[in-house]
Chains A and B, each alone.
Chain A
Amino acid sequence: MATALAPVSTERDLRLDLFRGLALWLIFLDHIPSNAVSWITIRNYGFSDATEIFVFISGFTAAYVYGRAMRDYGFIVSAARMLRRSWQIYVAHVFLFAIYLAEIAYVVHSFDNPLYSEEMGVINFLKNPDVTILQALMLKFKPVNMDVLPLYIVLLLFFPPMLWLLLRAPSAALVASAALYTATWYFDWNLPAYPEGNWVFNPFAWQLLFVFGGWCALGGSQRLARWVESPVVRALAVVYLVFAFCIAMTWYFPTLAVYVPHRVGEAIYPIDKTNLDVLRILHFFALAVITVWMVPRNWSGLHSPLARPAIICGQHSLEIFCLGVFLSFAAHFVFTEVSNRILIQVVVSLAGIVVMSAAAALISWYRRIERRGPGPRPPAVTPGFAGGGAT
Chain B
Amino acid sequence: MRVRLASLLALIGLCGPVLPLWAAPPAECLVGQQQTEHIFDLPNVARAITAKKLDVLVVGAGSSVLPGPNGANVAYPARLESALAEALPGVTVKVATDVAPRRTAADMVRTLPKVLAADKPALVIWQTGTVDAMQAVDPDQFSQSLDQGINIARNAGADVVLVNAQYSPRTESIIALGTYSENMRWVALQHEVPLFNRFRIMREWFDTGTFDFTNATNKLDIAARVHDCIGRLLAELVNEAGKPHVNGGN
Contact = CB atoms under 8 A, between A and B. Distances in A.
Given A253-B7, A258-B38, A273-B179, A115 B134 contact: no
Interface residues of A, number: 51
B66 A113 contact: no
Interface stretch (B118-126, B217-225, B236-244): B217-225
Contacts of A119: 63, 130, 134, 168, 170-171, 175
A118 B131 CA distance: 8
A236 B141 CA distance: 35
Contacts of A383: none
Interface stretch (B24-32, B45-53, B208-216): B208-216
A252 B3 contact: yes
B151 to A, nearest CB: 17
B10 interface: yes
Given A39-B3, A115-B213, A117-B101, A144 B134 contact: no
A115 B38 contact: no
Given A115-B223, A196-B138, A34 B169 contact: yes
A183 interface: no
Interface string A117-141: 1111110000000000000000000
A78 B178 CA distance: 39
B232 interface: no
A270 B186 contact: yes
Interface in B105-130: 130
B1 interface: yes
Nearest to B167: A34
B1 to A, nearest CB: 5
Contact of A118 (B130, B190, B207, B220): B130
A342 interface: yes
B23 to A, nearest CB: 25
Interface residues of B, number: 61
Interface string A61-87: 000000000000000000000000000
Nearest to A192: B138
B136 A195 contact: yes
Interface in A296-339: 328-329, 332, 335-337
A323 B4 CA distance: 30
A103 B174 contact: yes
Contacts of A144: 173-176
B166 interface: yes
A107 B179 CA distance: 23
A120 B217 CA distance: 13
Given A39-B1, A198-B138, A273-B179, A114 B172 contact: no
B173 A329 contact: yes
A121 B174 contact: no
A118 B38 contact: no
A254 interface: yes
A22 B47 CA distance: 56
B101 to A, nearest CB: 6
Interface centre among A196, A328, A337 (most CB of B within 10 A): A196
Contacts of B36: 254
A230 interface: no
Nearest to B135: A195
B14 interface: yes
A114 B141 CA distance: 29
Where chain A touches its partner, the secondary structure class is: helix
A254 B168 contact: no
- Most chain B CB neighbours (cut-off 10 Å) among A104, A107, A121, A340: A121
Given A112-B217, A274-B139, A118 B62 contact: yes
Interface in A325-381: 328-329, 332, 335-337, 340, 342
Nearest to B61: A118
Interface in A1-51: 31-34, 36, 39
Interface string B4-35: 10010011001000000000000000000010
A110 interface: yes
Nearest to A31: B173
Interface in B134-149: 134-139, 141, 143
A186 interface: no
A279 interface: no
B10 A255 contact: yes
A370 B15 CA distance: 65
A197 B134 CA distance: 12
Given A33-B172, A119-B130, A113 B223 contact: yes
B236 to A, nearest CB: 16
Contacts of B182: 270
Contacts of B85: none
Interface string A246-283: 00000111110110000001100110011000000000
B72 interface: no
A142 interface: yes
Interface of A: 31-34, 36, 39, 103-104, 107, 110-122, 142, 144-145, 193, 195-198, 251-255, 257-258, 265-266, 269-270, 273-274, 328-329, 332, 335-337, 340, 342
12 contacts: A107-B174, A114-B68, A115-B66, A115-B213, A118-B62, A196-B136, A197-B139, A252-B4, A255-B34, A257-B37, A265-B189, A335-B169
Among all A-B residue pairs, the 6 with the closest Cβ atoms:
A118-B62, A33-B172, A197-B138, A144-B176, A115-B223, A114-B223
Given A39-B3, A253-B11, 10 more contacts: A33-B172, A33-B173, A34-B169, A103-B174, A107-B171, A113-B170, A118-B62, A118-B63, A197-B137, A255-B11
